[in-house]
């Protein structure tokens, strides 16, 4: 026990003595949290719109007015003809072209049907999709109003069944993306910091040669590994704490569920990450190797974590890959507990998976660490 | 009981034979030197004896404990100072010493007697980080750390490499004192002049032991006539001496060349030979062999 405490003391001493390290562990995560939470928005606003209005009628003007009033679109260009609008689309000046044909109002009144053309720049798939959907929504709305407007003029209208949808956004009533992103980003940051710190740790002792000196001492394997793991566990939990405080103060993120549960899950999550980090560190010979391997795993972990894109919309095979991904589970649990108030019973599955991973990686790290070559 | 016994140890790295059938015994309380050039296999042998490396074949034991079976016990009883400075550069002198003392379950106070002579020299800097110490002070700290748990056998791998002459002398003085306290010391060095400071030495070259004896015996066994030669054309001298019919070996030794001959030499004969080659200010006199001469001799055979 004394030996473990000694190693922990030594590790913490080294971390805090490193002048670059302290701000890296305290200030930088908060800065990243703030920066990323403001920047990593899924919302699509100010879609640059070009309109080619061949009709110049009151209806076409009404439609246009509805488009701009929706808040999603910004009328960038009022094109004279189709070619001009298409050029603007190609040169990226506008994101979407709405073409209103000649006789739009007339057809609508006489034949009760009219065509519109929408050209959407879908080079960014999700932005294009959303732009199209928003436009469709506005046009749908416009359509409903016209019916109400036209019915008195033409007398009767065959009664059409109509579904009116009322939205209620649970757990995030105002659909504030920050509410959703901050817990996820925080979980990712804590995981990454701890993973890098551990991955670089033992390999650093190898590079400086201190491992040689340690190996001829009667230190036991488990003492060494525990002494290495625990300081970084503390650092990870500390980062989670300051991140949550910053999230509350700056973004006012809801904290519906138990914070104790969040920290408890974080401990399990960090044990997994520490295991992976140590495994990398014991296998690598240089810090460079360790860095690249850690980076490789981190890229996969982050991009497949469900932080930005929902896991449910990944192909089935890719979804299986998220099972051993600690970030995916941590992001999920952070969101569920903080926003929805999930209890232990709700996140049992995540706890179970992470416990299995924690045992697997820690024992692998323990087995691969050798005091003899 | 011998402090160290090595019995037929071999080790290969890929195709390189690092150690080839090494047999060696070190008496308890001896100051034993392992002398050889870089790449001779000194560090490999040290790593095997300190249980950091497994030999391919052969057996070795330290204080009667087998390096493979009883490695845990060995780690408690030996002190090892690797060739490369291997302490925590970002911890202070005192923190390093304290760390290693605690790992071995002891305290600085408990064994202060043993390290006092060495540690007092670096104690004024005890709050300085190890990385900021000079080379000589680093060595002293490393030695203190290797000694703090009162080892029975001390392994020092090239402790004086890269250390200035004065510090080297001090270092050997410290080793002599430690030996008086009954600690067995196995020390390796590429410097031949340090060999004479050991009780016994083993010359090692390309993974093989060339000779194991006391320095005086090794020197006495040197049988060939040996001369020190110097002229005004030192550069050309080496080549010229090699063409001299009676020459056996020639190699530079400080400001002189050391020449061994196949038989006793008429000194005038060589002087005339050199004068004919255009040399002036010729100095030629018989000289006593040193360890280096013996080593060169053994190497060429």
**Lowest mean pLDDT across A14-28, A249-263, A293-307, B10-24:** A14-28
Contacts of B76 in chain A (CB under 8 A): 218
Residues A144 and A280 in one domain: no
Q: pLDDT per residue over B54-82, tens digit each?
A: 999 999 999 999 999 998 899 999 999 99
DSSP state of A344: G
Q: Per-residue pLDDT averaged across A115-121, rounded?
A: 88
Identify the residue with better confidence: A360 or B244.
A360
Residues A68 and A210 in one domain: no
Burial class (CB in 10 A: 0-12, 13-18, 19+), B106: middle
**A19: nearest CA in chain B?**
B90
pLDDT at B90 over 80: yes
**B81: nearest CA in chain A?**
A213
Rounded-to-integer distance, Cα A314 and Cα A329, Å: 15
> What are the structural domains of chain B?
4-220 (3.40.50.300), 226-300 (3.30.70)
SS (H, E, C) chain B: CCCEEEEEEEEEECCEEEEEEEEEEECCCCEEEEECCCCCCHHHHHHHHCCCCCCCEEEEEECCEECCCCHHHHHHHEEEECCCCCCCCCCEHHHHHHHHHHHCCCCCCCCHHHHHHHHHHHHHHCCCEHHHCCHHHHHHHHHHHHHCCCCCEEEEECCCCCCCHHHHHHHHHHHHHHHHCCCEEEEEECCHHHHHHCCEEEEEECCEEEEEECHHHHHHCCCCCEEEEECCCHHHHHHHHHHCCCEEEEEEECCEEEEEECCCCCHHHHHHHHHHCCCCCCEEEECCCCHHHHHHHHHHC
CA distance B35 to chain A (A): 22
**Lowest mean pLDDT across A109-113, A202-206, B205-209:** A109-113
pLDDT at A261 over 90: yes
Tokens matching residue A234: 């503390």
**B78: nearest CA in chain A?**
A216
Element (H, E) at A24: helix A21-39
Rounded-to-integer distance, Cα B13 and Cα A31, Å: 49
Residues A303 and A347 in one domain: yes
CA distance A233 to chain B (A): 22
CATH of residue A131 = 3.40.1710.10
Domain count across chain A: 2
Rounded-to-integer distance, Cα B97 and Cα B107, Å: 9
Residues A147 and A263 in one domain: no
Contacts of B51 in chain A (CB under 8 A): 216, 372
How much is the pLDDT for A243?
93
Q: pLDDT per residue over B43-53, tens digit each?
A: 999 999 999 99
The answer to whether residues A15 and A21 touch, using CB atoms and an 8 Å cutoff, is yes
Q: Per-residue pLDDT averaged across B148-158, rounded?
A: 93
Residues A103 and A126 in one domain: yes
pLDDT at A233 over 80: yes
ipTM of the complex: 0.77
How much is the pLDDT for B261?
85
Residue A34 inside a domain? The answer is yes
- % of chain B with per-residue pLDDT over 90: 42
Residues A7 and A136 in one domain: no
A24-44 burial code (b ≥16 CB/10 A, e <16): ebeeebbebbbebbeeeeeeb
How much is the pLDDT for A187?
92
The answer to whether residues B126 and B110 touch, using CB atoms and an 8 Å cutoff, is no
B85 touches chain A (CB under 8 A): yes
Nearest 5°: CA angle at A260, between A255 and A261? 85
Q: Do B80 and A219 touch (CB under 8 A)?
A: no
B102 closest CB neighbour out of A2, A371, A372: A2
Residues A115 and A250 in one domain: no
Kindly give the interhelix angle for A348-368 and A326-335, rounded to the nearest 10 degrees. Answer: 150
Q: Do A6 and B99 touch (CB under 8 A)?
A: yes
The domain boundary residue, chosen from A154, A187, A222: A154
Residues A18 and A61 in one domain: no
Q: Per-residue pLDDT averaged across A246-259, rounded?
A: 90
Please, what is the average pLDDT of chain B?
A: 89
Q: Do A219 and B103 touch (CB under 8 A)?
A: yes
The domain boundary residue, chosen from A106, A122, A154: A154
How much is the pLDDT for A160?
58
pLDDT band at B26 (very low <50, low <70, confident <90, very high): very high
Q: Do A208 and B82 touch (CB under 8 A)?
A: no
Residues A177 and A291 in one domain: yes
B132 touches chain A (CB under 8 A): no
DSSP state of A99: E
How much is the pLDDT for A149?
72
Residue A178 inside a domain? The answer is yes
pLDDT at A150 over 80: no
A320: which residues sit within 8 A by CB, 6+ positions away?
none
pLDDT at B98 over 70: yes
Q: pLDDT per residue over B279-295, tens digit each?
A: 888 888 888 888 888 88
A372 closest CB neighbour out of B53, B82, B88: B53
Residue A132 inside a domain? The answer is yes
Q: Do A372 and B52 touch (CB under 8 A)?
A: yes
Q: Per-residue pLDDT averaged across B162-170, rounded?
A: 85
B89 closest CB neighbour out of A2, A208, A371: A208
Residue A25 inside a domain? The answer is yes
pLDDT at A155 over 60: no
Burial class (CB in 10 A: 0-12, 13-18, 19+), B175: buried
Please, what is the average pLDDT of chain A?
A: 87
Q: Do B82 and A213 touch (CB under 8 A)?
A: yes
Q: Which residue from A270, A279, A267 is spatially nearest to A361, judged by alpha carbons?
A: A279
Sole residue written with tokens 């940051």: A189
pLDDT band at A367 (very low <50, low <70, confident <90, very high): confident
Residues A198 and A342 in one domain: yes
Residue A242: which domain range?
2-40+173-368
Contacts of A210 in chain B (CB under 8 A): 86-88
Residue A165 inside a domain? The answer is no
Contacts of A17 in chain B (CB under 8 A): 90-91
How much is the pLDDT for B95?
93
Identify the residue with better confidence: A20 or B132.
B132
Residue A166 inside a domain? The answer is no
Residues A181 and A271 in one domain: yes
Question: How does strand B65-66 pair with strand B57-62?
Answer: antiparallel
The domain boundary residue, chosen from A120, A154, A188: A154
**A221: nearest CA in chain B?**
B72
Q: Do B104 and A217 touch (CB under 8 A)?
A: yes
Q: Between A and B, how many CB-CB pairs are < 8 A?
A: 68
Residue A245 inside a domain? The answer is yes
Residue A160 inside a domain? The answer is no
Q: Do A213 and B53 touch (CB under 8 A)?
A: no
CA distance B18 to chain A (A): 15
Residues A243 and A285 in one domain: yes
């Amino acid at each position: 026990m004394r030996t473990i405490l000694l190693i922990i003391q030594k590790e913490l001493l080294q971390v805090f003595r490193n002048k670059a390290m302290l701000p890296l562990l305290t200030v930088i995560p908060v800065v990243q949290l703030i920066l990323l939470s403001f920047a990593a928005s899924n919302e699509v606003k100010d879609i640059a719109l070009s309109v080619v209005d061949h009709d110049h009628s009151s209806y076409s003007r009404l439609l246009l007015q509805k488009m701009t009033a929706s808040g999603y679109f910004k009328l960038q260009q009022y094109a004279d003809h189709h070619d001009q609008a298409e050029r603007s689309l190609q040169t990226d000046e506008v994101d979407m072209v709405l073409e209103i044909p000649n006789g739009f109002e007339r057809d609508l009144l006489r034949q009760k049907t009219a065509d519109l053309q929408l050209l959407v720049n879908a080079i960014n798939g999700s932005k294009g999709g959303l732009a199209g959907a928003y436009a469709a929504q506005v046009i749908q709305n416009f359509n409903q109003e016209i019916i109400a407007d036209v019915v008195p003029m033409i007398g009767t209208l065959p009664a059409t069944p109509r579904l009116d949808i009322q939205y209620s956004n649970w757990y995030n009533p105002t659909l504030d993306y920050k509410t959703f992103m901050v817990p996820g980003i925080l979980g990712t940051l804590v995981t990454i910091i701890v993973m890098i710190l551990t991955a670089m740790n033992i390999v650093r002792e190898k590079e400086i040669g201190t491992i040689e000196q340690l190996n001829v001492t009667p230190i036991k394997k488990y003492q060494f590994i525990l002494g290495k793991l625990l300081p970084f566990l503390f650092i990870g939990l500390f980062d989670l704490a300051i991140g949550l405080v910053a999230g509350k103060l700056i973004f006012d993120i809801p904290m519906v569920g138990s914070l104790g549960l969040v920290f408890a899950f974080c401990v399990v999550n960090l044990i997994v990450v520490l295991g992976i980090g140590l495994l990398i560190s014991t296998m690598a010979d240089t810090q460079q190797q360790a860095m690249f391997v850690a980076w490789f795993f981190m890229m996969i972990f982050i991009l497949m974590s469900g932080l930005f894109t929902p896991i449910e919309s990944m192909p089935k095979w890719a979804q299986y890959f998220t099972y051993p991904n600690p970030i995916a589970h941590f992001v999920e649990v952070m969101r569920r507990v903080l926003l929805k108030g999930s209890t232990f019973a709700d996140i049992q599955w995540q706890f179970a998976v992470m416990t299995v991973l924690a045992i697997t990686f820690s024992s692998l790290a323990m087995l691969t660490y050798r005091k003899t070559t | 009981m011998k402090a160290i016994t090595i019995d037929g140890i071999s080790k290969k790295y890929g195709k390189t034979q690092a150690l080839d059938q090494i047999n060696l015994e070190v008496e308890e309380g001896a100051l034993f030197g392992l002398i050889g050039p870089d790449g001779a296999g000194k560090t490999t042998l040290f790593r095997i004896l300190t249980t950091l490396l497994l030999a391919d074949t052969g057996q070795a034991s330290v204080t009667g404990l087998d390096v493979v079976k009883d490695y845990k016990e060995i780690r408690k009883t030996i002190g090892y100072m690797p060739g490369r400075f291997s302490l925590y550069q970002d911890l202070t002198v005192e923190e390093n010493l304290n760390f290693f003392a605690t790992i071995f379950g002891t305290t600085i106070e408990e064994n202060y007697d043993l390290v006092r002579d060495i540690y007092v020299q670096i104690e004024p800097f005890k709050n300085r980080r190890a990385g900021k110490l000079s080379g000589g002070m680093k060595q002293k700290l490393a030695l203190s750390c290797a000694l703090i748990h009162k080892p029975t056998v001390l392994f020092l791998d090239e402790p004086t490499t890269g250390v200035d002459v004065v510090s080297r002398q001090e270092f050997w003085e410290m080793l002599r004192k430690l030996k008086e306290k009954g600690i067995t010391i196995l020390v390796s060095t590429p410097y031949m002049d340090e060999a004479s400071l050991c009780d016994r030495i083993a010359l090692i070259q390309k993974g093989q032991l060339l000779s194991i004896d006391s320095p005086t015996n090794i020197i006495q066994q040197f049988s060939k006539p040996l001369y020190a030669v110097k002229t005004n054309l030192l550069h050309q001298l080496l080549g010229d001496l090699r063409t001299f019919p009676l020459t056996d070996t020639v190699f530079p030794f400080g400001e002189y060349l050391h020449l061994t001959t196949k038989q006793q030499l008429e000194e005038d004969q060589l002087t005339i030979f050199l004068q004919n080659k255009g040399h002036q200010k010729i100095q030629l006199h018989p000289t006593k062999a040193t360890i280096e001469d013996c080593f060169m001799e053994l190497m060429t055979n």
